[in-house]
Structure formats: structure tokens, C-alpha cells
Amino acid sequence: MAKIDFKPGNMLYPLPVVMVSVADNEGRTNIVTVAWAGTINSDPAMISISVRKERFSYNMIKESGEFCVNLTNKELAKATDFCGVRSGRDTDKWKEANLTPIPSSVIKAPMIQESPVNIECKVIKSEELGTHTIFYGKVVAVHVDDKYMDETGRFHFEDTNPLAYSHGQYYTLGENVGKFGFSVRKDTKKKPSKKKK
């Protein structure tokens, strides 16, 4: 099997695709779809998003120093795409995408009610990297939809039908092929004993 050389570029796929809700200091709000988002630290909990300067939401994030990452799922695929291809400069994305803004608990930017998980963030640092600016956000609050909780208080993320993005296409996740650490876990199943003849 031979390897084909490609020019250097972004080939890290699939990616989580999220809707980021923002607000400016005058109370105007918007939603921007971002596929370049990721976890960058656990304590304190931090995530990053990369946004082009041309995006309408860019200045809102710079001005407010806040954003809310709203995870997406299959049911939100059309709204997710819409919020990525339309500009908030001339479109009310909340109305056109049938999304509901609800108050966040810490930041001014609203959360998306239809999202299964909402992550409120305060910007602690930003870096201009060329085409994009990366915003480092400290997680200040997390909210989950109670319909994915069980009676023990466990959140079943797998039941949300999360959305992923790869090379211009949206996908849902496939079958579970393993659990963290399964490659080194010893088999705890008892082997059948051999009966004496």
C-alpha cells in the first residue's frame, strides 16, 4: 500500500461541529458555526475556538470576552449548517434557524435551548495566527439537557446523536468499538473449566 503526497493543509478530521453563541456590549446576539474547536486543558477546564476576523461574531467575542459553545446533534444539522453559511450582519439566525435563546448563568451571551450541551466560556487569551484568531476560553458553567440523564445522575452523551464534520460533510457517530483502556484491560470473564474425563 503506497502513500500519496498532499500539500500541507488541514487534514485533521473528523471534528466536532458546534454552534457558538455570542453577544456584544449592547446586547446584540449572534450564532456562528465553528468546526475548529477543541479541549485544551482539564484543570482549569478550557476549550478553544478559531474564528476568522471577517465573521460577524468575531468582534462580539473580542468586545465581550465571552462565548458559549453549544454542542450539536443530528436534529440540529440543518440549523448548524445555516448558522455557518449565513451572516448575522443581515440575518436573524435565531429566527431563521428556529433556535431559542435562553439566558446563560454566568456570561451575557445566551445559550441555545435546543442544544444537548451548553458550555459557557470566558476568554482568557487570544492569538492571531493568520487566517484565524484562536480564542482560549475558561469554562465557567456547563448545562446539559435533562432528557439525557438517567436516574443515577449519569449523562448519556452517546444518546444525543452528536454531529461531526469532515471535509465539508456532516456525520453522526457510528458504533462503539471500544472503551478507554480496553486495549490493556485484562479479560475478567472466567474461562470454562475443562472437565476431567
187 inside domain: no
* Region 148-167 average pLDDT: 93
Whole-number Å distance between alpha carbons of 22 and 80: 15
Using one digit for the tens of pLDDT, what is the confidence trace for 40-59?
Answer: 999 999 999 999 999 999 99
Quick one: pLDDT band at residue 194, thresholds 50, 70, 90? Answer: low
* Count of beta carbons in the 10 Å neighbourhood of residue 177: 6
Residue 1's pLDDT band, with cuts at 50, 70 and 90, is confident
- Domain membership of residue 7 (yes or no) is no
Q: If residue 79 lies in a helix (H) or strand (E), which one and from where to where?
A: helix 77-85
Domain count across the chain: 1
184, part of any domain:
no
Grid coordinates given for 114: 435546543
Question: In this model, does residue 196 exceed pLDDT 80?
Answer: no
Give the domain CATH number at 20.
2.30.110.10
For 13-38, how does the pLDDT look when each residue is reduced to its tens digit (9 = 90+)?
Answer: 999 999 999 999 999 999 999 999 99
56 membership: H or E segment, kind and range: helix 56-64
- From residue 15, give the alpha-carbon distance in Å to each of 52, 162, 176: 17, 11, 17
Q: Which residue range is the domain that position 75 belongs to? A: 15-172
Amino acid symbol at 86: R
How do residues 62-111 score in pLDDT, each as one tens digit? 999 999 999 999 999 999 999 999 999 999 999 999 999 999 999 999 99
Residue 162 carries which DSSP code?
A: B
**Tens digit of pLDDT for each residue in 115-150?**
999 999 999 999 999 999 999 999 999 999 999 999
